[in-house]
Structure 1
Amino acid sequence: MQSLEALAREAVALAHNEPVPGGGSAAVDEVARQMQICNACRYCETFCAVFPAMTRRLSFAPGDVHYLANLCHNCGACLHACQYAPPHDFAVNVPRAMAQVRQETYAGYAWPGALGALYRRNGVTFALATAAGLALFMVLLLAMRGSLWHEPLAGNFYAVFPHNMMAWMFGAAFGFAVLALGIGAARFWRAQSPGPVTAPAATAAAGNALALTYLDGGHGDGCNESSDAFTLWRRRFHHFTFYGFMLCFAATCVATLYHYVLGEQAPYPVTSLPVVLGTVGGIGLLIGPAGLLWLNLRRHPLHGDPAQRPMDRAFIVLLFATSLTGLALLVLRDTGAMALLLAVHLGTVMALFLTLPYGKFAHAVYRVAALLKYQVERRQPNKLQLGAD
């Protein structure tokens, strides 16, 4: 292992844009350099899964770096605890270095590959323009089919757009998103050579993902946002967002069951299971994204990669807009504005579906894969014995 003095010289060389050997991209090499320093120090070993996984390695190939970068939850705790963080010459900033590699993995494993470039362009302006364009398309389609304003239709959406038309349009968009993300995750998984997946490893990884275990800073007090003060708000807003999204998805699944299996067509009463699930989920998707945007705007300037903030905020804004238009549609579904609100909501949902594989949502898919590899790996013998996990 290199001495800290040698690593310091490399840090200074990188600061002056001088080449440092190691292979891979500059971002991958930078993570490898910082992990060498962290492996010599290991002060943050108990903070999250990244550091125990790090201690199993003496060197860091691109595949190792991709794995560790997606295992990182960007909570910021290690940055504020690090004695080698900027302005030290070692310039260790693990959250930023990992974030830069994560975007490379999203683009590198994307399917189709040519669309990986969208990760660099998917900002708030792009997201809102896509949503506005698709909403306008739905409004024009509505205008061709009838009037934008109408007599109350008792919430009957299918009187505005036929059920089969909506099912095919949005089923195809959502199916493409699932296919693209699935292929990307499979490519990432194969590149990691994780070993056999066991039931205990899969169960533990699922628990880590659902509980956001590694957003507690390693001590249960939370992570760092705008300063070195600990807070659990990022974890809480993530929970509102994730479970709100899942409740809305569950509402769609239950409504599909009602339609095709039970023969009950929409509109459903406000006390019905699909409407209750959708309402509670929609409220979660207002609270969560609003809170995450608030935290993102206040975040410490050294946290994460500033170049990716437009992509982060684009996904947050689209989720919020999807929920807001959906709840507005529910409240006003018995009025003459229902058709127009439906067109706007459907356009926003379509924009969300089409940008899912090439935006911030990808982090959830790759992070779950990295958590699963971590749980598989930690059940294998640690030949280095550099640290306990």
Structure 2
Amino acid sequence: MPCTDDTQQSAADARRALDICNACQFCDGYCTVFRALKMRRLISVADLTFLSNLCHNCRSCYHACQYAPPHAFDLNLPKSLSLVRQQTYRDHVWPPPFRGRLPYAGWPAVAVVAAVALSAVMLVGMPALIWIPPDVLFGRHSGPGAFYRLVPWGAIAGVAGAVMLWSLLAVGFSVASFWRGMGPVPAGVAFLPALRDALCDAATLRNLGGGGAGCNDRDERFSQARRRFHHALFYGVVLCFASTGAATIYHHRLGWQAPYPLLSLPVLLGGIGGAGMLIGAAGLALLKLRADPGPVARSLTGADCSLLALLFLVAASGLGLLALRETAAMGPLLLVHLGLVLGWFATLPYSKFLHAPFRFAALLRAAMERQCKEWGRG
């Protein structure tokens, strides 16, 4: 980690909290963080990188902790790990010249995401406003190929594909750097069983269950709301990408051009996925704004909410386009939706989205360690 006063203090606070937790061990059954912590006597920089991203921030440990404020120890593990986790995004971003320079927290992060999204909307919209006649832009279009009368398919696929390819490349290199930052890989581990366990943990969000009853979303009461909203958002995004895949097959294999009928596979998948994204993004944002401020690093709320707002707008514009695609609003809505999708793709490696692949990498490392521990018992 870059040696600034803030990062050094965040790392020191997290290491002190983990040392106390390792001595206490009251929360061992709460999540996989504590099981991984028990395997460590001294907390290194690599351990902080790993454990902070393994934490799902369910906050159960905070409300169960006898050393939490107002105790003199002032122990706040969720907040400490959140600050270290945010720093890992800055430390492992790609390309390397960006490391330590991009804002991942507070209003600067909101400004960056908003600026990129707005620029993408302008990039799509301004040329269209210049070159598309008003009677075409605001006209009623229906039937196969209606979208492409406004924006050619090659322009849509080419620009979005290029931006997405860059983002996937950047995310891949960032995850590779993060994987190395977690330290050496446990030796002699069977990769496929560990991958299966990590995929199961990620798909079920098991570690958002706290000790089994759920998260402490607002106060000391347990709740499954955050887990359900996460599921709605995650599987909504998955269904939207599945819709795009189905539309690609329709277009290239079957020769059918969008827009497709309401009961077609691309529309059904996209409609359900868009609704899931709306519900998930709105629900998570509401929970964040109403959360108990004690275990929350408030400086990070802006970065969280900016990504949720962008995902909400992507889904809302897509559903609006679906509902109004045979009206005069179709042209402007198409341009706005394409711009927002492009902005989302462009910010993938440089927004809070990076927490998803980093957390999965941490879950995979934890599954490998559990396998080694089980073998050691045998």
Normalising to structure 2: TM-score of the pair?
Answer: 0.91
Correspondent of 1:372 among 338, 344, 364 = 364
Contact kept, 8 Å, 1:123 with 1:313, in 2: the verdict is no
TM superposition shift of 1:382: 7.8
1:352 aligns with 2:338: no
1:135 aligns with 2:127: no
Q: Could you tell which deviates more after superposition, 186-195 or 90-99?
A: 186-195
Pairwise mapping of residues 126-275 of structure 1 onto structure 2 (< 5 A)?
126-148=112-134, 149-154=137-142, 156-192=146-182, 193-195=184-186, 196-219=189-212, 221-275=213-267
Q: Could you tell which deviates more after superposition, 242-251 or 254-263?
A: 254-263
Give distance in 2, aligned partners of 1:112 and 1:95. Answer: 29
Correspondent of 2:12 among 3, 17, 29 = 29
Correspondent of 1:97 among 71, 80, 87 = 80
TM superposition shift of 1:113: 2.5
The aligned counterpart of 2:42 is 59
Give distance in 2, aligned partners of 1:114 and 1:38. Answer: 36
Deviations along 1:197-250, one digit per CA (max 9) or x if unpaired, are 52221111100000000111122x211022101100000000000000000011
The aligned counterpart of 1:312 is 304
Give distance in 2, aligned partners of 1:157 and 1:197. Answer: 48
Contact kept, 8 Å, 1:135 with 1:347, in 2: the verdict is yes
The aligned counterpart of 1:9 is none
Give distance in 2, aligned partners of 1:49 and 1:231. Answer: 19
SS at match of 1:230: coil
TM superposition shift of 1:25: 2.7
Contact kept, 8 Å, 1:111 with 1:183, in 2: the verdict is yes
TM superposition shift of 1:126: 3.6
Contact kept, 8 Å, 1:293 with 1:313, in 2: the verdict is yes
Contact kept, 8 Å, 2:86 with 2:104, in 1: the verdict is yes
Give distance in 2, aligned partners of 1:228 and 1:97. Answer: 19
Q: Could you tell which deviates more after superposition, 127-136 or 179-188?
A: 127-136
Return the letter of the residue paired with 2:104: Y
Give distance in 1, aligned partners of 2:133 and 2:46. Answer: 56
CA RMSD of aligned residues (A): 1.9
The aligned counterpart of 1:324 is 316
TM superposition shift of 1:383: 11
Return the letter of the residue paired with 1:292: L
TM superposition shift of 1:125: 4.0
Give distance in 2, aligned partners of 1:321 and 1:158. Answer: 22
TM superposition shift of 1:147: 3.1
TM superposition shift of 1:263: 2.0
Q: 1:384 to 1:27 in 2, by over 3 A?
A: farther
Contact kept, 8 Å, 1:70 with 1:366, in 2: the verdict is yes
Correspondent of 1:278 among 270, 283, 293 = 270
TM superposition shift of 1:65: 0.7
Give distance in 2, aligned partners of 1:383 and 1:252. Answer: 43
Return the letter of the residue paired with 1:147: P
Q: Could you tell me the percent identity over the aligned residues?
A: 41
The aligned counterpart of 1:49 is 32
TM superposition shift of 1:384: 11
Contact kept, 8 Å, 2:139 with 2:331, in 1: the verdict is no
Q: 1:114 to 1:122 in 2, by over 3 A?
A: farther
Give distance in 2, aligned partners of 1:236 and 1:244. Answer: 12
Contact kept, 8 Å, 1:97 with 1:304, in 2: the verdict is no
Q: Could you list the runs of 5+ residues in structure 1 that have no partner in the other structure?
A: 1-18
Give distance in 2, aligned partners of 1:191 and 1:130. Answer: 29
Normalising to structure 1: TM-score of the pair?
Answer: 0.89
Give distance in 2, aligned partners of 1:322 and 1:189. Answer: 30
Give distance in 1, aligned partners of 2:109 and 2:174. Answer: 21
